[in-house]
């Protein structure tokens, strides 16, 4: 372990524990009562069923797109998740899709859907994931007015499959935070509790999905940026195997091999059963690496689990809440009763998880910086102080992340190399444990949705998620209902490289067993 890094981590843990308790007492949970109830049953139907309705001409794209546009319009004033919409264009796209479907004879529909498997299906896109012609500001005053010059690869693949983008959603400055609060778009609110954040950096997508305002959304994940918002908003989120999907037109990104392993575009959805189809289309030609054509039965998957970090590493970390640990144990017991083999994982290499994870981020030299490259740490600290006084053009969350990178995560260059080697050994150890048919249940984050403006303290626990970016392993966050405060809880499922289908298979099984997404407010349709 690195003494300085761990001393800082422990100090921050103590401070955050105190802050968390104080805020919980002073700001007791206040349900986001202004979130409108869902009155249209159409908004509760999974993608796979929607496609069947459209193929049999019992539902039109225009009906579906209008329903989601209306939902977004009534919900967004209460969550502030939309950066820029393209509703008029989407309705025109939907009409073209309907024309294609209704002009096609029933005998030819299979051929049409083979070419356009998502024909007429609406979806939403995280602003940083590149939707041509739409805002590409990524929460930064320095990028004000910027537009995406082309679609990112996954967005392009989805559009080529006939899907219709509705909007680009909010993310924090440069995506450098686990809460979504920027000077360009303001604060994005959690649909379950307005006093807490929706997470980050795919916070807008998390809030839209959690409030039932999108069928599915595209996000990016370099340190938990899909999985943490999925936890905070009670939905499913999948980060694919490192390197599966190119990062072209995704911000921030770089050409280094490590960056392409860590940063992955993925999917957020209320419906675990939809993840496989969406990922298959997003991955394009690389989908063959996932071997979806060779399905695996849930009963043939081995379950390994951990309730958090152990030993000294666990003491130094913020502890995992009882409700999240119980969620893991409930899932394990359910699958055990279904005949699956389950056991506590024995992984020695996790003892230096913080060093392995943080050093990985520190090594990303080519990743864009908030401030000019020649900015000194002293100047950065001054700017950080100014940001707390709201006198800086940069957010305190972005500057805190920047400080971590500029200081090599408070480690020497030699330590960065050392922990890179340890990370490679840990990856090999996990792969050996899981094999071709095993998955690991592990906390996504130690606590449910955090309070606004506390991410600079809470992000010291991001190695629960970041570690698996650095290792390049696929992960799926699973929602498991609400805790005693009414906040969503859940955990992530981890598999060996390109064994994403194992995560998704278990996600589907647990969705059937526990119900998956729990709406923030009760539905009001007949």
Active-site pick, 126, 302, 427, 499: 126
- Give the closest residue to 456 by CA, choosing from 252, 179, 205: 179
Element (H, E) at 490: strand 488-494
- Distance, in Å, from the CA atom of 467 to the CA atom of 179, rounded to the nearest integer, reads 19
- Distance, in Å, from the CA atom of 387 to the CA atom of 453, rounded to the nearest integer, reads 12
Helix, strand, coil percentages (3-state) for the chain, rounded to 5, are 50, 15, 40
Q: Is 61 a catalytic residue?
A: no
Q: What is the DSSP string of 150-205?
A: S--HHHHHHHHTT-EEEEEE---GGG-SSS-EETTTEEPBPSSBTTBB--SSSHHH
Helix (H, G, I), strand (E, B) or coil at 427: helix
Active-site pick, 140, 225, 230, 253: 225
Neighbours of 212 (CB within 10 A): 25
Burial, 111: exposed, middle or buried (Cβ in 10 Å; 0-12, 13-18, 19+)? Answer: exposed
Helix (H, G, I), strand (E, B) or coil at 422: helix
Backbone φ, ψ for residue 301 (5° rounding) = -95, 135
Q: What is the DSSP string of 474-486?
A: -EEEEEEEE-TTS
- Distance, in Å, from the CA atom of 273 to the CA atom of 9, rounded to the nearest integer, reads 38
> What are the tokens at 127?
């602003």
Q: What angle do CA 193, 198, 203 make, to 5 degrees?
A: 160
Q: Is 225 a catalytic residue?
A: yes
Contact 222, 263 (CB under 8 A): yes
Bridge pairing between strands 164-169 and 122-126: parallel
Question: CA-CA distances (angstroms) from residue 294 to 103, 447, 458?
Answer: 35, 36, 40
Q: Is 110 a catalytic residue?
A: no
Measured torsion, CA atoms of residues 354, 357, 360, 362, in degrees rounded to the nearest 10: -50
Active-site pick, 201, 202, 220, 253: 201
If phi over 0 gives left and psi between -120 and 50 gives alpha, with beta otherwise, what is residue 204?
Answer: alpha
On the question of a cis peptide bond just before residue 87, with omega within 30 degrees of 0, the verdict is: no
Count CA atoms within 13 Å of residue 276 on its CB side. Answer: 21
Q: What is the DSSP string of 374-390?
A: T--HHHHHHHHHHHHTT
State the DSSP code for 348: G
- Give the closest residue to 36 by CA, choosing from 80, 83, 87, 78: 78
Q: Which residues are catalytic?
A: 126, 201, 225
């Amino acid at each position: 372990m690195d003494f300085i890094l761990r001393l800082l981590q422990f100090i921050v843990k103590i401070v955050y524990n105190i802050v968390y308790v104080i805020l919980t007492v002073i700001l007791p949970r206040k349900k986001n009562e202004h979130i409108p109830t869902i009155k249209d049953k159409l908004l509760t139907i999974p993608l796979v069923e929607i496609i069947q309705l459209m193929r049999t001409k019992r539902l039109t794209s225009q009906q579906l797109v209008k329903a989601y546009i209306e939902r977004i319009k009534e919900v967004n004033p209460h969550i502030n998740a939309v950066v820029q919409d393209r509703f008029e264009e989407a309705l025109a796209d939907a009409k073209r899709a309907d024309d294609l479907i209704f002009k096609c004879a029933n005998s030819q529909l299979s051929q049409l859907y083979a070419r356009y498997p998502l024909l007429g299906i609406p979806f939403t896109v995280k602003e940083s994931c590149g939707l041509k012609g739409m805002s590409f500001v990524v929460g930064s005053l320095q990028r004000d007015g910027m537009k995406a010059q082309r679609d990112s690869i996954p967005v392009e693949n989805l559009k080529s499959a006939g899907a219709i983008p509705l909007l680009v959603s909010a993310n924090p400055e440069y995506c450098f935070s686990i809460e979504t609060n920027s000077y360009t778009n303001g604060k994005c609110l959690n649909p379950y509790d307005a006093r807490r954040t929706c997470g980050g950096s795919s916070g807008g997508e998390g809030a839209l999905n959690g409030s039932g305002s999108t069928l599915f959304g595209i996000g990016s994940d370099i340190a938990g940026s899909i999985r943490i918002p999925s936890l905070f908003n009670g939905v499913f989120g999948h980060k694919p195997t490192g390197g599966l999907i190119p990062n072209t037109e995704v911000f921030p990104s770089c050409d280094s091999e490590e960056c392409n392993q860590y940063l992955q575009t993925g999917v957020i959805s209320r419906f675990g059963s939809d993840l496989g189809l969406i990922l298959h289309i997003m991955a394009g030609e690389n989908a063959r690496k996932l071997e979806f054509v060779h399905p695996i039965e849930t009963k043939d998957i081995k379950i390994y689990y951990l309730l958090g970090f152990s030993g000294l590493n666990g003491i130094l970390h913020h502890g995992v809440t009882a409700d999240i640990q119980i969620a893991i144990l409930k899932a394990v017991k359910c699958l055990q009763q279904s005949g699956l083999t389950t056991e506590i994982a024995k992984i020695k290499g996790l003892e230096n998880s913080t060093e392995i994870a943080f050093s990985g981020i520190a090594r990303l030299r080519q990743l864009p910086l908030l401030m000019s490259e020649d900015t000194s740490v002293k100047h950065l600290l001054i700017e950080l102080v100014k940001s707390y006084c709201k006198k800086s053009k940069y957010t305190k969350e972005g500057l805190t992340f920047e400080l971590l990178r500029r200081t090599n995560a408070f480690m020497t260059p030699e330590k960065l190399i050392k922990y890179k080697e340890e990370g490679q050994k840990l990856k090999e150890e996990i792969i050996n444990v899981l094999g071709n048919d095993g998955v690991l249940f592990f906390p996504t984050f130690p606590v449910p949705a955090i309070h606004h403006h506390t991410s600079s303290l809470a992000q010291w626990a991001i190695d629960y998620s970041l570690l698996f970016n650095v290792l390049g392993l696929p992960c799926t966050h699973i929602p498991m209902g609400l805790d005693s405060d009414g906040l969503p809880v859940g955990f992530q499922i981890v598999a060996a490289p390109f064994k994403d289908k194992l995560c998704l298979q278990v996600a589907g099984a647990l969705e059937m067993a526990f119900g998956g997404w729990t709406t923030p407010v009760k539905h009001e349709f007949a």
